[in-house]
Amino acid sequence: MAANCLTVLTYNIHKGFSPGNRRFVLHQIRTALLAVDADVLFLQEMQGEHQGYEQRISDWPNCTQLEFLARDIWPHYAYAQNVTYSAGHHGNALLSKFPLLSWENINVSPFRGASRSLLHGILHVLGSHSPVHIICIHFGLFGLERQRQIKTLCARIDSHVPHDAPLIVAGDFNDWSGVAEKRFSQHLELQEAFRGLHGHRALTFPVWLPFLPMDRIYYRGLQPVSCERLLHAPWPHLSDHVPLMATFQL
């Protein structure tokens, strides 16, 4: 981390498979994440366990996907299991170079087979005057579902995040209409990093021809320095989402 700066990345890793589920690419995802070297990772669709894949895929890690990605670089992490099935489970994760003082997962999915949650962690970051709150998001595909999830997120922030505390909310919002942004701005005073710096939302889905602004990085109590889509190789050959990376001044 640069002096008094915090770099974060949000990425839907598609359970470690390439677009169209053609190839298992978790090893390439780890290499790409190591290259950008963000301080904090907000990851969606992390495969916690899958007994079938473990047996069929020759280069499946001999540990969990979370431990495999975090090893040696991000020693502090949390995994939120949101979807359970006969072969295993998947959910969302936070990986950090800085200590996680605490974390809690709030499952906001009305459906058993969907990974929708608010994974709320609190970081002790060198250079910050107070703990940094981070919330990893994966919202639903349906408008009514997202409205309820947005309401739950607003209530969570109101009750658990001091207004003067640094806050970053990032992830896969599935919110191509921008409804969440209006509510976040009016109710929570959150700002979106990419739109604030570039004047428009980042188009992040699908990776082969991005035309929907699904992935976002919102913030409060921090100063954005940069926010970019990672469109260069190897990212287009990994997940079906484009990752977003932002740097903030503490």
| CA-based nearest residue to 115, from 172, 177, 179, 52 | 172
pLDDT over 60 (residue 246): yes
Bridge partner residues of 137 (DSSP)? 118, 171
DSSP string, 52-89: HHHHH-TT--SS-HHHHHHTTT--EEEEEEEEEETTEE
| C-alpha span between 204 and 246 (Å, rounded) | 14
Greatest Cα-to-Cα distance within the chain, rounded to the nearest angstrom: 50
Average pLDDT for residues 95-117, to the nearest whole number?
84
Average pLDDT for residues 178-203, to the nearest whole number?
90
pLDDT over 70 (residue 112): no
Query: Of the ranges 46-50, 95-99, 174-178, which is most confident?
Result: 95-99
Residue with tokens 């047996």: 55
| C-alpha span between 38 and 2 (Å, rounded) | 11
CA distance readout (Å), 125 to 70, 130, 133, 199, 203: 18, 8, 10, 29, 30
Average pLDDT for residues 71-87, to the nearest whole number?
92
Query: Of the ranges 107-121, 125-139, 189-203, which is most confident?
Result: 189-203
pLDDT tens sequence across 81-92: 888 888 889 899
| C-alpha span between 133 and 169 (Å, rounded) | 8
Query: Whole-model pTM?
Result: 0.95
Q: How confident is the model at residue 2 (pLDDT cuts 50, 70, 90)?
A: low
Residue 115 backbone zone (phi > 0: left; psi -120 to 50: alpha; other: beta): beta
Q: Which amino acid is at 83?
A: V
How many other C-beta atoms are found inside a 10 Å radius of the C-beta of residue 61?
Answer: 17
Say if residues 204 and 229 touch (Cβ distance below 8 Å). Answer: yes
Average pLDDT, the chain: 92
Average pLDDT for residues 136-156, to the nearest whole number?
87
| C-alpha span between 14 and 6 (Å, rounded) | 25
Q: Quick one: CA dihedral 194, 115, 35, 134, positive or negative?
A: positive
| C-alpha span between 97 and 81 (Å, rounded) | 22
Say if residues 110 and 143 touch (Cβ distance below 8 Å). Answer: no
Average pLDDT for residues 164-178, to the nearest whole number?
91
| C-alpha span between 189 and 196 (Å, rounded) | 13
| CA-based nearest residue to 33, from 237, 234, 213 | 234
Average pLDDT for residues 55-68, to the nearest whole number?
95
CATH of domain 5-249: 3.60.10.10
Distance, CA of 110 to chain centre: 20
**pLDDT at position 157:** 94
**pLDDT at position 242:** 98
pLDDT tens sequence across 28-46: 999 999 999 999 999 999 9
**pLDDT at position 146:** 85
Average pLDDT for residues 6-30, to the nearest whole number?
96
Say if residues 212 and 203 touch (Cβ distance below 8 Å). Answer: yes
Q: What percent of the chain has pLDDT over 90?
A: 74
**pLDDT at position 147:** 87
